[in-house]
Structure 1
Amino acid sequence: MQVDDVDRRILRQMLAAPGLARAELAERAGVTPASLWRRLEKLRAGGVIRGEEAVIDWRKLGWEVEVSLRFTLEKAHPRAFDEFIAAARDVPEVIEIQTFTGQTDVRLNVIARDMAHYQEIYRAQILALPHIADMDSLMLISTLKDSAELPL
């Protein structure tokens, strides 16, 4: 799909102020509301805009602990990867699942209310995930940059 300078201007404004009313977005992007609507529909149809969502700060809701768990899976079982991913998706506290090439096969981001809660999740749900050959964990200390901005 072709994205021109006007589309990029619209996308930059959407990223800068996600909750902006459409009329204000059109004005900031320098297009008419009708043109904005047509371009947004084109960007959605082309898969450039996959959706618009609320970004919720789970820390403000009492989730204080974030742990990144890196897994190496058993390679002998032909469905190990699919079964691990399916089971990990069923853990409500898993907020992100990523797959990799190299030594680490899968990374899970897990949140918990506090360390006692994390210990419960770890013992009851994480250790019960199938086909784990090796695991490493990283406790998040601080986030220095967390951005969805693109160089548009």
Structure 2
Amino acid sequence: MLDDLDRRILRYMQGDPDTSIPDLADRIGMTASRLSRRLDKLRETGVILGTRAVINWQALGYAVEVSLRTTLDKTQTRAFDEFIEAARLIPEVVEIQTFLGQVDVRLSVIARDMAHYQDIYREQILTLPHINDIEALMQVARIKSDESLPI
């Protein structure tokens, strides 16, 4: 279980992940070595999985994001595994989610423009195994995209 100090550390890290350990320790009111030990413990217990750079794919020339809601042929026992394994190989698929319900898998696909998306869709997406039905939803705006937790 997390104590109040762990939660405070995580709140500060979410708010400003680039803060150095000495600066973060000063803000929290503890020594850098004690903070390092706490961070090691949070990593060992799997609370902190790592740090990463969040890249703005639009700044790299990708202007289109499409959400593909896919229903698979569930009469095939390995349909999910084979579909997901193949979808992971498509570089423009930036997210894969599975669901219980009418939709089985959702893919987020990015592309430079609509012509590029059509190429990806025709040459890679439609060749994925076990697709029973697919629906494309074109993203108009991203209203909220925040991975911070209410700690």
TM-score (norm 2): 0.98
Match of 2:94 in 1: 95
- What is the deviation of 1:19? 0.9
Match of 1:50 in 2: 49
- What is the deviation of 1:27? 1.5
Map 1:63-82; keep pairs closer than 5 Å: 63-82=62-81
The letter of the residue matching 1:34 is S
CA deviations over 1:42-89 (Å, ceiling 9, x no partner): 000000000100111111110100000000000111111100000000
Structure 1 unaligned spans of 5+: none
**DSSP-derived class of the 1:142 partner:** coil
The letter of the residue matching 1:59 is Q
Following TM superposition, the consecutive aligned residue runs of length 4 or more in structure 1 with deviations greater than 3 angstroms are none
The letter of the residue matching 1:90 is L
**Identity %, equivalent residues:** 60
Match of 2:3 in 1: 4
Kindly tell me the number of residue pairs found equivalent between the two proteins.
151
Structure 2 unaligned spans of 5+: none
- What is the deviation of 1:30? 2.3
Distance 2:19 2:139 in 1: 32
Farther-moved stretch of structure 1 (20-29 vs 43-52): 20-29
The letter of the residue matching 1:70 is R
Match of 2:133 in 1: 134
**DSSP-derived class of the 1:95 partner:** strand
CA deviations over 1:85-112 (Å, ceiling 9, x no partner): 0000000100000000000000000000
Distance 2:52 2:28 in 1: 20
TM-score (norm 1): 0.97
Distance 1:35 1:3 in 2: 16
Distance 1:90 1:27 in 2: 44
